[in-house]
Amino acid sequence: MSVACAALEQPAEPSRETFDATGKVVLDSIYNNPDPRAYWRTLADLDYRVPQEAKPYFLRCVAARRERMGASCFGTIVDLGCSYGINSLLLRFDLAIADLRLRYASPDIAALGREHLIARDRRLAVRRHFLRFVGIDVSPQAAAYATEARLLEEVVVADLERRTLNSHEARSLADAAVIISTGCFGYVTEASFARILQPCGERPWMMHTVLRMFDFAPAEEALAQCGYVSSRSPRLLKQRRFSSRSEQERILDRLSSMGTDPSGFETEGWLYAHIVLSRPASQADAPILHRIFPS
């Protein structure tokens, strides 16, 4: 490998660190707990931030979609890979990532019961009342927390890489106006996109953050066959810091094998993502694109 790794704050090889087939560290244990505390304790240490970096793009996308549909007709935001309702907290409740770290990862909440956390989240003030969130996730405990805490109206618990929606799930997604995701593409693919789009009455817009280590081209081609046009932001977004030198080296190798130059980006110690907007071709006008992706 010809590119150099930036020095990382984390130890070079944490004990018991394992990696998946993509080269990323395995963090499966944080995604299906009764509450979000372990999730935020782990990801706060890695300076996880991609939902925050994507937030202004999502808000501009929602504003443009709402303008086109008419404010009174705006439907549901579907959050693919919704986990504990992070994107709803940022968009509907207008919190920031720093607020969530303080809220769930600070030492003084470690001894609190789950019911206390849920009651506290139910007291949060909604800032954008016109936004209705339905999540999709494979983790039943994360889904249960998000719905019990009223961070999401509903969650479809399903692995849409493996199965189609049932009739109830399809009805939950039928009025989707915008489909978003932060960080799950690569583990979900165009197969999930197709199954989400199937019950939608009016073709929703889609906006996904896509790590550079994953190739979006097959999904873009599949969406094009459904009449969509996809565009990428000219700016890259930081997802999180690498967990270790070992993870960084694996991702640098993967990027090099794809012909992607990591210099100045992943070599500096961060995972980077594109943000991709996909719209029906009939609605893919340039002025709105420039509003969503300002130079």
pLDDT digits (tens, 9 = 90+) for 38-51: 999 999 999 999 99
Distances (CA, A) of 26 to 20, 42, 247, 290: 6, 12, 10, 37
Mean pLDDT throughout 208-235? 97
Q: Report the distance separating Cα 169 and Cα 164, nearest Å.
A: 9
> Rounded to whole angstroms, how far apart are CA atoms 195 and 161?
9
pLDDT score, position 1 = 45
Between CA 15 and CA 18 the distance in angstroms is 9
More confidently predicted of 295 and 226: 226
pLDDT at res. 8: 63
Cα 242 to chain centroid distance, Å, stands at 18
Tell me the average pLDDT of the chain: 93
Domains and CATH numbers, the chain: 28-292 (3.40.50.150)
Q: What is the pLDDT of residues 168-211, one digit of tens each?
A: 999 999 999 999 999 999 999 999 999 999 999 889 999 999 99
Cα distances (Å, whole numbers) of residue 30 to 35, 43, 93, 211, 268: 10, 9, 23, 20, 26
Rounded Cα distance between 194 and 239, Å, is 25
Tokens of 238: 């930081």
- pLDDT computed for residue 201 by the predictor: 83
**13 has a pLDDT exceeding 50:** no
Query: In this predicted structure, what is the pLDDT of residue 155?
Result: 98
Q: In the prediction, which pLDDT does 3 show?
A: 60
